[in-house]
Structures are given as C-alpha cells and as structure tokens.
Structure 1
Amino acid sequence: MHPSTLPPGSIVGSWRLLGLASQGSFGAVFRAESTTAPESGPVALKFALQPGDPRFALEAAFLSRMKHPNLPLLRDSGEWHSPSGTTYSFLVMDWEEGLPLYSWARLRPRSSREVLRVLAQGARALQAIHSAGGLHRDVKGDHFLVRPEDGHAVLVDFGSCTFRGAPVITRNSGPPSTPEYLSPQSLVHQWRFRRDPTARYEPSVADDVYALGVTAYRLVTERYPLIADDDSGTDEGQDDSLPIIPKLVPADVLVQLSPELALWIRQLLSVEPSARGTPAELVRGLERSANTEGAKADKPIGPIRAHSAPRKAIPQQKPPPPMPSRALRWKVWFGATALTLVLVAGGGGLLHAQMEQSSSSGQPPTLMQQFPTVHAETSGLGELELPEPLNPSEPMPPHEGINAPIPDGPLQGQRTPPCRKPLVEINGGCWSLVGNETPPCSDITYEWRKQCYLPFMAPSRPLNTREK
C-alpha cells in the first residue's frame, strides 16, 4: 500500500489520518489528529512519496530547531512501514489555516499596504531561517499560506532547504528551486557551467530575498517579471561567452502601486545581491512603510489604463539594431532551460493555458508567459537528469479537439529515440508525462494509457556560443 492511498482513520505513529489535503510530486499532506488527545486540534501530516527520501530528514532536522509565528511548528517525525515492508518518512506539523498567497490576493482587490504587511512577514520568516544558518531555496507564492481573516502569513514546504553542515543530496549544478524564482547569479552560474554538471552553485541569503521579490512582483501584477524590450542590461564580464542580464519591466509600469511598495519591489529584484538588503533590513523597512505610508497605500492595486486621447501619426522609423548576440543567446538559453524544467515537472497544462491567453489577446507571448511556473511540488527538481532543452522558437504542435490518442508514429519535428530520462519512448517518439493533467487531455497533449503526455520537440540546432 502506498501512503497516498491511505484511507481516513488510518493510524500513522500516534496520529489518525482524517483525509488527504494535497499532493505533489514528492509529498502528500494529510489532515490528521492525535490518537491520544484529539481535542488538541488538527495537524498536517506530510508523507514522503518515495521510500527513504533524504529530503524529509533534512526538513525535519531544520524545522526541529525553529519556533517562529511565520514558520510551521514541527510536532513529530518518524517512519511508516507499509504492509509490504517498504518504509516511508513522515513529518507532523501544526495545521496552518490559510490560502496560498496568490489565491488570497484574488479574493478581493488588495491594497499596497496589505501587500507590504505580507511581504514584511515573509521577510521575518527569512530572517528566522537565515539566523538559524538555513536557506529555504524555494520561496514562492505557493509556499506562503495567508489567513483571509487577518492576513497572517506562514512560509511552508522546506523540502528544498539546506543549512550549515547539511549533506548535499542533489546532483546538478543549480539549486532545486522553481525556475522563474532563480536569481540572476544562479542563472549566470548555470550559463557559465552549462557543460560542467559538477560545478555546483552555492546559494546565499540574497537568493531567497530575490525569490521574495519575484513573489511580490507576481502578487501585484499576476505575472512573472517581464524582460524589457530594450537591449540594455547588466554585463557580467568582458568575455563574449558570458551573458548580459536583461533589464526587467518595473511592476509599477504595469499596475498602480504606492510609491514605497514600488521601490521595495525594485530593490528586491536588484541584480546586485547586496542591493537587495538583508532580511533584517527588509523587516524594518517594510514594516515602517506599511505603518507610515500615506493614503495612496490604501488604494486597491489595479492595472494602469492606457490614455484614450488620440495620438498623432508617428513617422515610420528604421527598426532598432538587433540585440547583441550575447544577450540573445542568454535569453534563448534561459527560456529553453525554464521550459525544460516545466515539461519535466508536469507544467504542460499551464503552458497550454498561457499560450491560449497570449493568442487570444493578439499579442506575442512574453518570455515569462512562454515559460510559466512549475505548479507541481518542486522539491528535488535538481535530482532529475534533464534532457537537452527544447528550442523555444519551435511551436508546440496542437491537434484538433481534446483527448486525442498518441499517434502511431512521431510528430513532425519530434525528438526520436534514444529518449533520455525522464522522457519516455512511445510509438517511436519522445514524450514527457504531464503530471498535473488527467484525461480528457488538452489540445496540445495526448492521451496514452489514461495519462496525458506532451511531445518533446527536437531543437533545430544547438546554441553556438562562438556565434557573432
């Protein structure tokens, strides 16, 4: 018996399961209660879905030293033995009532002051983690639970955490984080050492702070940070093989924010790590802004409307010069890498939805729209052996209708065997399982044995770092 199939009433250690609350790729969370003192209230019992998962030992070791109002409180940890003799780890924490941050924001229009208060609590959580010598390494909106009645926020899911003295359990060079929340330093490292998987990136406090900035940007704009259209950016070196970090469109260009919240989001997303501020500095500054900023901070956050006044005809101008090849290669590589992670972790359904949104608006998709976040649990993505990235210029081949079966042969442009893990070979083509989609499958995924698969398209040619 697998732990995810345990029925209500099952006993795990000294805890009684009340029902499955949520499930990701690596863990399942049950609502549970004490068998000896059920009146003490519900708890969250988190099961590992893989036997002997080392992430759970790290999570338990770190949470056991933490006691903070913006972090989950560890009650118990142990192992459950299935009837077949397989051993699965579990953790027991306080049950946190609340909604994921982005869902909380959609309940009603939020003000800049409310966002400042939530961000201050996020900074407090990071301050406690870093003071204990730890890093969360997967800070994002899905990992903040916010109580609707009072706005109290808790940072959860420490499956990707690390701390001083912790063993290394991932094998790739980058951190086990969600791609869209990675800092420029992490992405530059992966670019520089893209052919050397042994060159590990060492994350810092500044990486968690940057991820909080991405969280804030998406919280107020409902999208990931957009790359500006101009060619300027931060040059990481004189060597033409190194990338240019592109500039981002400020959040206050897209939505109406109070002046101080706009400045805080810009600061959190600074390219220079030291410019982002320490968690302690952020706590003081964000709380001060939430308590003292004027009436503009109480206005609902909303999109900036375009002026309706007629415009004068603009003479046709020469097109701008092409983007420097170094920056272009960086953007293409970043997009392809992010999309590969999305396909591997099962984000194909969301990718399809965002592609539909872009096509219906009549506008070309932005980089972040093309490569949305991974909505499956991302702890341990770094342990996957990734195939070569999909060429982002290759469109995903749609089909007519829904629930189409996988064809008898490979699609035009689809990668053919050998298929590197985690891709699978089906009918002569390489396919990626979409873990968060079940039949009926969407019009860019195909059904095979009651599961949905996305075709993995072969790159038209490899990126050449010597190109001019």
Structure 2
Amino acid sequence: MPPAQGGQHLTSTLRLIRRLGAGAMGTVWAAEEIGLGRQVAVKVMSPGYANDDPSKERFRKEAQAAARIRSPYVATIFGHGVTDDGQPFITMELLDGETLRDRLRRLGPLPIEEVVRLFGQMARGLAAAHKMGVVHRDIKPANLFVIDDEGEPFVKVLDFGIAKDLDASSELTSTGAMLGTPAYMSPEQYDDTKRVDHRTDLWSLGIVAYEALTGKTPFTGSSLPAMAFSIARGEFQPPSALRQDLPRTLDGWMARALSLDVEARFGSTMEMAETLAAATKPPAGRAGTTSPPTTAPDLAYAETKPSSPEKPQIPPPSKPVSGKVGDLFKAAPKRPTNALAQDLPQAGEGPRLDIVEDPSRGVLTLSLAGRFGRALAFDKRGESLFIGFSKGEVVSFDLQARRVNWSTRLRVSPLCLDTGAGHLAVGCADGRVRLFDASRGLVQSTLHIDATPVRALALDEGAKTLAVSGEGYRVTGEGHRVTFWSVSTGECLQVAQEHADEVRALAFDGRNGLWASGSRDTTVRVWDASFRQTQVLRGGVVNCVAFAADGRHLAAGYSDGSLILWMTPPRWEFDKRLTGHTKRINSLAFVHGAGTAGALVTGSEDGTLRVWDVATGRMQRTVGTGTTTITCVSTTQDGRYVASASADGAVRLYRWPLHPSLGEQPAAK
C-alpha cells in the first residue's frame, strides 16, 4: 500500500491536509472531517507495519487506552479505523504549539516556575491514566505537547502507543521485550518488563524534569548497552551543580525520583508534583525574596489591572493562616464599548482570609469572617478554585501551592461563577456579569444584562459564548428569558423566552455543544449550538442543572429534594429519579475524571453534601451535620477535588475519593 499523502481521502469523510510529523509507527497529519467541518489530527500507521498483526494490535490498543482517559492534560482521542486498503489510523484533537523537546531546543533550560507548572500538568495527565490502570512507558519531551494558552504554557501528554494496561491478562510483547526511549527508560524497563508499573512513568518524569531544568539528561551512553550500564549505576550530577539558581533541596527530590529502588521512589505523580513545588521554593532570606508572612494581606475593592506582588505563602498544614490578602489592583477604567463597560474601583479594606488544612483526611477549609461562599468554580485544568463570597470578595486559590493567586472585592455580591479558556465569568446582584482574566484577576469587561440580579450563567469551554438568566420575572415579567451573548463583542446573539417562569440554572455540555436551562416552571429545556430549543424535560421546580463530562447524562436538582437523571443524545430518555435529601437541592456536579465518571455530588438546604452512584442510583456517602445549608458544590474535571460552600461561612475543599472518616455510608440493602 502507498504511503499517506496530502489531499488523500482516508475515508469518505476524512481528508488529509498536511503532514505534521512522524513517529516510530506512523505519520501524523492535519485532516478535515468533511461532514463536521472540523479539523483534527490523524495518526496513520506506516505501510511497513500495516501487515504486522502485533503492530496493528498495539496501534489499536493505543487508541483504546488514550480514549479511556478523561483529562484536559491528555490529548483527546476521537476514534480509530482502517482504510479500504487496510491502513489503520487514529483521529485525535488537533493541537497548536510545539513539543517540549522542540521548546527545550529553542529556549534551553526553562525557568524554575515554568518547569514546576508544566510538571504539575504532566502529573495530572498521567494520574488520570494511572487511575485507569494505564502506564504510558514512553514519557519523554517529544511526547509532551506545549500549547500557549492565554500567554501561559500548557502541556498535554501524547502517544500511548506502547502503553501497558495493568488489568490486561496478556502482553502484546514477549517477555523481556524492551519498549521505550533509552535515555528516559527506567531500570526495570531494561531489566524485566513484567515488573513495570506506574512508577516507571514516575522515573521518566524525573528525567524530563532534570532535562527541563538543566538542558541535559542525567544518564548518557553512546550505545544501548552503555546507556543501560549508566542507568544501572544510578550515578548522576546533582542539578544544582549544573545550574547556579537551582536550590540544593532539588537535589534530594531528584535523588528520590531517580532511585534504583522502585519502593524508594515517590508513590504517585501528584506526590512528585507537590514535593517538587516545595523543593523549588526559595528559602527565606535569599536574595530577591522575602520571608513568608505571618498574615496574608487584606482584600481590596477593585476591578482593574493588578500589580504583580509576591503570592502569600501558607505556614505548615493544620495551622490556620489569617491576615490580609492585599491591595492587588489599581484603577484603570476604560470607556464603554458596545454592551461592555469597565467598572470603577473603590478603596477599602476587607476581612482576613483563614486557611486550615487537615492533610490526614484530605480537607482544606477557607473562610472570611462574616462572609459565606455564594458561588464556586474550578478552572478547566483543575489548578485553581474560584470563590465568590457574599459581600463581594472574589478569590482565586492555587490548589497545588495552597495559596492565593489573586483576589478582588466587588462593590456588589457575586451570585454565580463559571470558567472557560482562561476566563472567569461572575454574575452579580446588580444585573451585570464581570468577565475576568482568570490567571491574573483582571476584569476585562462588564456585561450589562438588566437591573435585577443575575441568577445563573454558563460559559462554553472556548469562552466564546455566555448564557445568562436573571431574576427579572418577579419585577418585569421577563425573568423567564435566557440570553446568549458573544464574549468578545458583548453582542446579544439570541433571546430565548420559552420558559414560563424564572430561570434558575444554566449549564453547557462541551461534548455535544448543548445548553440546558432549568426553571420554576418545572421544565428543563435543552438548546443546540444555534440556540434552538431541542428538548423539554419535565420533573418539578428546578434549582440546578449539570451535564456529565462525557456528555451521556444531564442531571437536575429540585425543590422537593429529589434529582432526575436523563440520558443525552441520541436517546434523550428518562434514566432515574434519586431521593434522599429532605429539602431543596441548591447545587449539583458530576465527579469527572478517570475512574470516577459515574459519581454525582449534591448540596442541599438540609445541610448535607451527598455522593451518588450514577449507574445504580444508590447514595454512597452523606457529609455534613444537617445544621447549615450547603449553598454550592463544584468538582474538577480530572476528578481530584470536590468543593462545597455552606452558610456557616466555610468553603471546604475535599480530595477525591473522600476519606472514609468523612460522613456516613448508608447500610447496604
């Protein structure tokens, strides 16, 4: 069979456009899915392998392994197939950027902060794979793709072509067969592939970190036996000996990461990421740094461009940190443009942020005196938690460093939050939506909706379109509207008025490109990408709605304490009604990520947070004393964290799965 070439139709709906690169088993092309008008990346197996059954099976396994992993840090696989002449191919998302290998060749050793950031993202991607029992086995800079996302580098893990499924009963390679790239392979990959588990990826991550910081790999050899001998000796130069600004604490981290003893290495990628962040923090008194403050600075009123202060650091876990969060912003008002306008800041001081961590149970509590959290949202990467407090404070909290990224205090109360593509949308009590740059805390624009509070909003993942509903029904008879807005221009794209009463909830489905709205009129209505109503689902007075990350379920929470699950396209069938809460459900969220897509978390006025098994409808866990209302819940896309806000003023961040000591598990029936 001839090699693939530009302009070739692999199938009747898939046309190759241009070659992007080549790997060990095939070439990668930009291609067009003709029916959908979408550009994708296509990996086409080389003709020399297409007649080799083990190679074809390994190629198929690559598609299956990567497709199971749900993480923003892993390249998304759309599907796989075989051409009419027998050439296997895989379709995946088309990425715009460069491999980490090319970035290192272009820039040399990277800044410490950038390495820590990218490492945390690699760790999250591999953690999602490891949860599914998949070991990559070929982690190297060429298989890590860096995207420039809103001015910040963002990495995705590529190429699961030689991944190992720990749950598989057989191997695709014979005993002792070696797969991988020599400089990045763990000792056990050289020795016996039967001993390979997730810790081989941890070794390779250590090699990547060493190279990103120093520009060199720790082990070298002019031949495969020489490389194997170098790795088997386990001797390498400490990173601080190769680069003066690297702290010596990093040497100890690297020694553990590259230990020949598998048991002596880190236990998980996330443990590696967290300890790397700690090992690279400048010590107190070092030039250009200051000692960690005993208090965090005060929140300040502002809605404009921030300065660049040092981020407050947090003392050891389990000890509360209280103090001021800082004057992070200075006034820089802009002239209104179309429906967009920049708000003027106010001067003033706010309360002190308290942070208490219980590491043994995986719980972090954040609070502001005299305030309670009204709205929560994680960024799509699962790196930051955004909190809207009752008296106007908006805080971005770094989940890995356990510190405040930025904060601001609005002149009105934030009522709802959503995130997408580096943006944070904040719906407020004055009928406006503030659009923030999520990484810097800059209010880029303010969207004027009407004179009544913004009840609900939803932002699509690309931050191109915003859906909004307000409380105007009680005043003007127009609160039943859902309006769709262009984020970039402030133009109203569509006004939907099919609801007969106040719209209380909105959600966006990134998989199917759908919007959902829930109302007091007892309906959930579904809208397509053209803002046309496609479904009307009935059940009761709706308070909250959410789509599952895989696009297979839509859930709604009701005033009677029940919730309903529906199957999404193409079936659109009622699935089940879940009961257990004794009062209205205020908020719900699916627990996303590898291995946990079947869980749903709800927060209620009955003072409990409950966890449900989506497949069976069984309640798995009840958390809370039942004495204070849970106002909001949120989850990360990678399934690592669940957050809740309650009327007692506490915002609680839980590691998932929840620790056994948290809450009650109902007795088995």
Q: State the TM-score, normalized to the length of structure 1.
A: 0.52
Judge conservation of contact 1:77–1:92 (CA < 8 Å) in 2.
yes
5+ residue gaps, structure 1, are: 191-199, 229-242, 300-468
The Cα shift of 1:171 comes to 2.5
Judge conservation of contact 1:58–1:166 (CA < 8 Å) in 2.
no
The Cα shift of 1:291 comes to 8.0
1:254 matched to 2:253? The reply is: no
| Aligned-partner residue type, residue 25 of structure 1 | A
Provide the residue aligned with 1:151 in structure 2. 153
Provide the residue aligned with 1:20 in structure 2. 19
The Cα shift of 1:114 comes to 0.7
Match of 1:45 among 42, 55, 60: 42
1:282 matched to 2:272? The reply is: yes
The Cα shift of 1:269 comes to 1.2
Kindly name which structure, 1 or 2, has the bigger radius of gyration based on alpha carbons: 2
Q: How far apart in 2 are the matches of 1:162 and 1:13?
A: 33
The Cα shift of 1:294 comes to 7.5
Match of 2:200 among 204, 207, 210: 207
1:10 matched to 2:9? The reply is: yes
Deviation per CA, 1:366-425, whole angstroms, max 9, x where unpaired?
A: xxxxxxxxxxxxxxxxxxxxxxxxxxxxxxxxxxxxxxxxxxxxxxxxxxxxxxxxxxxx
Q: Which range moved further: 47-56 or 163-172?
A: 163-172
The Cα shift of 1:64 comes to 2.1
Q: How far apart in 1 are the matches of 2:287 and 2:195?
A: 37
Q: Aligned pair in 2 of structure 1 residues 292, 124: CA closer, same or farther (>3 Å)?
A: farther
1:139 matched to 2:139? The reply is: yes
Provide the residue aligned with 1:165 in structure 2. 168
Superposition pairs of residues 52-201 of structure 1, within 5 angstroms: 52=53, 53-82=56-85, 87-108=86-107, 110-148=110-148, 149-163=151-165, 164-165=167-168, 167-171=170-174, 173-187=176-190, 189=191, 201=194
Q: How far apart in 2 are the matches of 1:166 and 1:7?
A: 40
Q: Aligned pair in 2 of structure 1 residues 227, 154: CA closer, same or farther (>3 Å)?
A: closer
Superposition pairs of residues 401-440 of structure 1, within 5 angstroms: none
Superposition pairs of residues 375-390 of structure 1, within 5 angstroms: none
Q: Aligned pair in 2 of structure 1 residues 286, 220: CA closer, same or farther (>3 Å)?
A: closer
Q: Aligned pair in 2 of structure 1 residues 61, 297: CA closer, same or farther (>3 Å)?
A: farther
| Aligned-partner residue type, residue 210 of structure 1 | W
Q: How far apart in 1 are the matches of 2:200 and 2:19?
A: 33
Q: Aligned pair in 2 of structure 1 residues 244, 179: CA closer, same or farther (>3 Å)?
A: closer
Provide the residue aligned with 1:31 in structure 2. 30
Q: How far apart in 1 are the matches of 2:286 and 2:66?
A: 39
| Aligned-partner residue type, residue 73 of structure 2 | N
Superposition pairs of residues 265-344 of structure 1, within 5 angstroms: 265-277=254-266, 278-287=268-277
Superposition pairs of residues 223-242 of structure 1, within 5 angstroms: 223-226=216-219
Q: How far apart in 1 are the matches of 2:26 and 2:90?
A: 10
Deviation per CA, 1:89-111, whole angstroms, max 9, x where unpaired?
A: 11100012221113213444621
Provide the residue aligned with 1:264 in structure 2. 253
Q: Aligned pair in 2 of structure 1 residues 173, 257: CA closer, same or farther (>3 Å)?
A: farther
Q: Aligned pair in 2 of structure 1 residues 270, 12: CA closer, same or farther (>3 Å)?
A: same
Q: Aligned pair in 2 of structure 1 residues 246, 266: CA closer, same or farther (>3 Å)?
A: closer
Judge conservation of contact 2:79–2:91 (CA < 8 Å) in 1.
yes
The Cα shift of 1:219 comes to 2.1
Q: How far apart in 1 are the matches of 2:287 and 2:152?
A: 18
Q: Aligned pair in 2 of structure 1 residues 96, 252: CA closer, same or farther (>3 Å)?
A: same
> What secondary structure sits across from 1:81 in the alignment?
coil
Judge conservation of contact 1:68–1:128 (CA < 8 Å) in 2.
yes
| Aligned-partner residue type, residue 17 of structure 2 | L
1:222 matched to 2:210? The reply is: no
| Aligned-partner residue type, residue 96 of structure 1 | L
Q: Aligned pair in 2 of structure 1 residues 61, 154: CA closer, same or farther (>3 Å)?
A: same
Identity within the alignment, %: 25
| Aligned-partner residue type, residue 251 of structure 1 | P
| Aligned-partner residue type, residue 79 of structure 1 | V
Judge conservation of contact 1:135–1:208 (CA < 8 Å) in 2.
yes
Provide the residue aligned with 1:335 in structure 2. none
> What secondary structure sits across from 1:78 in the alignment?
strand
Higher RCO, 1 or 2 (CA under 8 Å, sep at least 6)?
A: 1
Judge conservation of contact 2:246–2:280 (CA < 8 Å) in 1.
no
Structure that is richer in helix per residue:
1
Deviation per CA, 1:437-461, whole angstroms, max 9, x where unpaired?
A: xxxxxxxxxxxxxxxxxxxxxxxxx
| Aligned-partner residue type, residue 40 of structure 2 | V
The Cα shift of 1:287 comes to 4.9
> What secondary structure sits across from 1:284 in the alignment?
helix
> What secondary structure sits across from 2:205 in the alignment?
helix
The Cα shift of 1:174 comes to 4.0
Judge conservation of contact 1:137–1:175 (CA < 8 Å) in 2.
no
Q: How far apart in 2 are the matches of 1:37 and 1:294?
A: 56
Provide the residue aligned with 1:316 in structure 2. none
Provide the residue aligned with 2:509 in structure 1. none
The Cα shift of 1:266 comes to 3.0
> What secondary structure sits across from 1:267 in the alignment?
helix
The Cα shift of 1:162 comes to 1.4
Q: How far apart in 2 are the matches of 1:155 and 1:298?
A: 34
| Aligned-partner residue type, residue 213 of structure 1 | G
Judge conservation of contact 1:21–1:30 (CA < 8 Å) in 2.
yes
Q: Aligned pair in 2 of structure 1 residues 207, 146: CA closer, same or farther (>3 Å)?
A: same
The Cα shift of 1:179 comes to 1.4
* Cα RMSD for the two superposed structures: 3.0
Deviation per CA, 1:147-179, whole angstroms, max 9, x where unpaired?
A: 244210011011110112164122250431111
> What secondary structure sits across from 1:201 in the alignment?
helix
5+ residue gaps, structure 2, are: 222-230, 290-669
Q: How far apart in 1 are the matches of 2:152 and 2:73?
A: 13
Structure that is richer in strand per residue:
2
What is the aligned residue count? 268
The Cα shift of 1:121 comes to 1.2
Judge conservation of contact 2:179–2:189 (CA < 8 Å) in 1.
no
Judge conservation of contact 1:258–1:296 (CA < 8 Å) in 2.
no
The Cα shift of 1:32 comes to 0.8
Q: How far apart in 1 are the matches of 2:120 and 2:287?
A: 15
Judge conservation of contact 2:253–2:279 (CA < 8 Å) in 1.
no
Q: How far apart in 2 are the matches of 1:154 and 1:295?
A: 36
Q: State the TM-score, normalized to the length of structure 2.
A: 0.37
Q: Aligned pair in 2 of structure 1 residues 251, 287: CA closer, same or farther (>3 Å)?
A: closer
Q: Aligned pair in 2 of structure 1 residues 24, 161: CA closer, same or farther (>3 Å)?
A: same
Judge conservation of contact 1:140–1:211 (CA < 8 Å) in 2.
yes
Judge conservation of contact 1:220–1:251 (CA < 8 Å) in 2.
yes
Judge conservation of contact 1:145–1:156 (CA < 8 Å) in 2.
yes
Q: How far apart in 2 are the matches of 1:31 and 1:297?
A: 48
The Cα shift of 1:257 comes to 4.2
Q: How far apart in 1 are the matches of 2:71 and 2:282?
A: 25
Judge conservation of contact 1:112–1:261 (CA < 8 Å) in 2.
no
> What secondary structure sits across from 2:188 in the alignment?
helix
| Aligned-partner residue type, residue 162 of structure 1 | K
The Cα shift of 1:59 comes to 0.8
